[in-house]
Structure 1
Amino acid sequence: MGMTIWIHTLEGRNYSQDSDDHSQICRHLDAIDETCKKIGVKSLSEFMDYTDQEYNYDEFDDEDEDVALDPETGLGYGIDDMTWFDSQEGLSSFKALKTAVASSVITGLDADEIVDLMEELDNCIAILEKSAAQAGKFHLSLIE
Structure 2
Amino acid sequence: MATTLRLATLNDSQFQLHEQELTQVCAQLTRLDALCKSLGVIPLSQFVDVTALEFREAAELLDGQAPARVEPDPLTGLPYGLEDMSWSPVTAGMTSIEALTGHLQRNRPRELPGADIPALSAELRYCEQVLAPLEPEGGQFHLAAD
Q: What is the TM-score when the length of structure 1 is the normalising length?
A: 0.91
Tell me the distance in 2 between the aligned counterparts of 1:138 and 1:17. 10
Tell me the distance in 2 between the aligned counterparts of 1:131 and 1:63. 40
Give the structure 1 partner of residue 132 of structure 2.
129
Instruction: Give the deviation of 1:127 after TM superposition.
Output: 1.1
Tell me the distance in 2 between the aligned counterparts of 1:99 and 1:44. 15
Counting matched residue pairs gives 140
Give the structure 2 partner of residue 77 of structure 1.
80
Gaps of 5+ in 1: none
Gaps of 5+ in 2: none
Instruction: Give the deviation of 1:142 after TM superposition.
Output: 0.9
Alignment counterpart, residue 109 of structure 1, candidates 107, 114, 128: 114
Tell me the distance in 1 between the aligned counterparts of 2:43 and 2:80. 26
The answer to whether residue 142 in structure 2 is matched with residue 142 in structure 1 is no
Tell me the distance in 1 between the aligned counterparts of 2:134 and 2:8. 10
Aligned amino acid, residue 16 of structure 1 = Q
Give the structure 2 partner of residue 14 of structure 1.
14
1:32-88 Cα deviation digits (max 9, x unpaired) = 000000010000001111001111111223343121111111111000110000001
Aligned amino acid, residue 3 of structure 1 = T
Q: Percent of aligned positions with the same letter in both sequences?
A: 30
Tell me the distance in 2 between the aligned counterparts of 1:32 and 1:18. 21
The answer to whether residue 96 in structure 2 is matched with residue 93 in structure 1 is yes
Aligned amino acid, residue 94 of structure 1 = I
Aligned amino acid, residue 112 of structure 2 = T
Give the structure 1 partner of residue 39 of structure 2.
39
Instruction: Give the deviation of 1:114 after TM superposition.
Output: 0.6
Q: What is the TM-score when the length of structure 2 is the normalising length?
A: 0.90
Instruction: Give the deviation of 1:136 after TM superposition.
Output: 0.2
